Amino acid sequence: MAYPVPPLIRFMLPAVLASSMVAAEPAARPHLVVDAPPGSRIEGGVGIYPNGFVARYDDLVLLGDALRWDIRREEVWAEGRVVLVRPGIRIHAARLGLHLQDQRGEAWEVEAWIDGPTGRIPVRAKQMRMTRQEVVFEGVETIRRHGGILALGARRLTVRLHETPRPKGEDAERRDAARVVRDIALTGPWFALFDVPVFWLPYLYRDLSFDYPWTRVNFGKSSRLGEFIRFEIGTGLPEVGGWKTRVVGEADYFHDTGTCFGAQLDWRNDTIHCLICPTHS
């Protein structure tokens, strides 16, 4: 039997389940709150919101065209222009399923923005899986950087998160993004320059606790060597014993002298920064 719901009703889990729960839930436990226009209803313990909704649970905000909420299982299924906002990441999707208590979910036809130290990193992917500790994008499609000059894709992009955002006062040199997003790893990345595939790599890693780009492209003119284009690609390595390591490869083309290549190694901890300067050949 269907029951009509008044406009802009706010359903809260304890009120709906009060008659069937054996024990009361802890007071500190978060509850789902849904705002929806007329036409929403409850059928067989499932909340149905066919005309749009805005839902809030803990530090998550979810909105879209339609929502089904299995109240007893604490699971939601959203469809149509779905937007999920969580600290550090904003996700748009065609469809999304989410278990509320575990914050474990999956989405399809995904476009997302990850907070980085120098701005938001855009991601477009076929599928996304998430837990409290990480968000994994599968089938990452083209990410354009440097004004569209460089395109990047990958089989998988993994974003690891701090379970509890670190206080703003901790390590003042780090940007706010590092308080939520711990690091980003790309599996099977490929690169294209002016839409022409140039190379593939098995793995790329970026620790967001200090600021550096994966790639850097520079154009210019030198009075000694003429016009040039410089391309750099760098990857971090997982932290070991408090040391953070980064390896950088560089390819330069100078109009007067031709092509040369170089590399550098950069590693640091909280008090020491070491650098082996680039060498070219």
Q: What are the pLDDT digits (tens) for 153-183? A: 899 999 988 766 555 554 444 445 456 888 8
Report the Cα 18 to chain-centroid distance in Å: 37
Question: pLDDT band at 21, cuts 50/70/90?
Answer: very low
C-alpha triplet 221, 223, 228: angle, nearest 5°: 30
Cα–Cα distance between 139 and 145 in angstroms, integer? 18
pLDDT attached to residue 11:
46
Taking alpha carbons only, the member of 208, 8, 37, 243 closest to residue 120 is 208
User: Token digits for 257?
Assistant: 């002298």
Q: Which residue has the higher pLDDT, 194 or 124?
A: 124
Among 216, 228, 221, 219, smallest CA distance to 257 is for: 228
pTM of the model: 0.67
**Identity (one letter) of the amino acid at 187?**
T
Q: Which residues of 100-117 are buried (b: 16+ CB within 10 A; e: fewer)?
A: beebebbbeebbbbbbbb
pLDDT at 165: 58
**Coil, helix or strand for 269?**
coil
